[in-house]
Amino acid sequence: MQAVRVHDGGALVYETVPDPVAGPGEVLVELRRAALNRRDILVRRGVYPFPLPVVPGSDGAGVRRDTGEEVVILPSLHWGEAEDAPGADFQILGGPRDGTYAELIAIPEENVYPRPSRLSWDEAAAFPLAGLTAWRALFARGGLRAGETVLVLGAGSGVSTFALQLAAQAGARVLVTSSSQEKIDRAVALGAAGGVLYGDGDWAAAAKELAGGRGVDLVVDSVGSTWDDSLRALRPGGRAVVFGATGGAEVQLQVRPVYLQQLSLLGTTMGSPRDFAGLLRMLGEASWRPEVDTVYPLSEAGSALDRMESGSHFGKLVLACA
């Protein structure tokens, strides 16, 4: 089969590799589409000490070779029994286990689900990791309820776009931040009530003002270095759900406001099979579709990753595997 693998030094090579072999409890999926996530950039950079070469990619949709069923792949491997946090054996597909930048993948049978019939191949590949991360952040961890106001940082990324659409579907009022007025306008077209430019002064205060002056109920923060500002944007008793560190892995916090205002800082990552089932239910009831920015041939995965690193995309970047 053809696959894209990360080699020593971060070299991304499109090459012929042996077909994977399904082990006990596994199935082979002929991939039609894969989708990019920021994690793939970190795998390419060697941030994670995975043995190389490795096939990156956590998102995929394709056809089960044994049954002919059209499926999507749940990228959470071995989540475990608890719902509050993954177990010790938890992994994310796409390093160290070979991922979806390939024509064929061997995957545990428990990680394949029927492809939502109303979604195209591009849309089906686009939603699993980002949609699952957004769903868990909003509902399982953030406890979002209809009528609340949620602030989603970084309009245009895959997770933020899903968070916006899922929150709006649930009856929440959605605000966003962005460096670009164009991206804020596109977020409004998808259902956001408004947004603030984070490069224009105190964006936390501006978001608080948009929320009526008291603050937002929930912040979804994937930036990392913005935790202190996210907490400042909250109303008393509000919640900030955090994951990722696209803006930096260290932050300095003001301690007193957290306990004096009864704020909650909640970590999350990915999601469980139960979370994925919840996401699938919402997708089945939704009128919106996953936002796809650009589709590249598998052989041009490097160009797709470069576009992701540039931050110029809005929505998901997809690879055509077949």
pLDDT digits (tens, 9 = 90+) for 99-144: 999 999 999 999 999 999 999 999 999 999 999 999 999 999 999 9
Burial 310-320 (b: 16+ CB within 10 A, else e): eeebbbbbbbb
Spell out the CATH class of 132-267.
Answer: alpha beta
CB-based contact 158:288 (threshold 8 Å):
no
Q: Does domain 2-127+290-320 have CATH number 3.90.180.10?
A: yes
pTM for this predicted structure: 0.96
Q: How many residues does the chain have?
A: 322
Place of tokens 């139960």: 274
* pLDDT on residue 248: 86
* pLDDT on residue 16: 98
Chain segment 162-194, per-residue pLDDT in tens: 999 999 999 999 999 999 999 999 999 999 999
| Residue 248: burial class (beta carbons within 10 Å; 0-12, 13-18, 19+) | exposed
DSSP string, 116-134: PTTS-HHHHHHSHHHHHHH
Chain segment 226-271, per-residue pLDDT in tens: 999 999 999 999 999 999 888 888 999 999 999 999 999 999 999 9
For CATH 3.40.50.720, list the domain ranges present in the chain: 132-267
Place of tokens 């912040």: 219
* CA–CA distance, 224 with 230 (Å, rounded to integer): 10
Q: Decide if pLDDT at 7 tops 90.
A: yes
Which DSSP letter does residue 102 get? B
Q: In the chain, count H helices and then E strands.
A: 10, 17
* CA–CA distance, 221 with 213 (Å, rounded to integer): 20
* CA–CA distance, 263 with 217 (Å, rounded to integer): 10
Query: Residue range 76-80: average pLDDT?
Result: 97
Query: What are the Cα distances from residue 21, in Å, to 24, 29, 144, 279?
Result: 10, 11, 42, 30
Largest Cα span, the chain: 59
227-231: long-range pairs with CB below 8 Å, 24+: 227/251, 227/253, 227/265, 228/252, 228/253, 228/254, 229/203, 229/204, 230/151, 230/153, 230/204, 231/257, 231/258, 231/263, 231/265
* CA–CA distance, 240 with 221 (Å, rounded to integer): 7
For CATH 3.90.180.10, list the domain ranges present in the chain: 2-127+290-320
244: left (phi > 0), else alpha (psi -120 to 50), else beta?
left
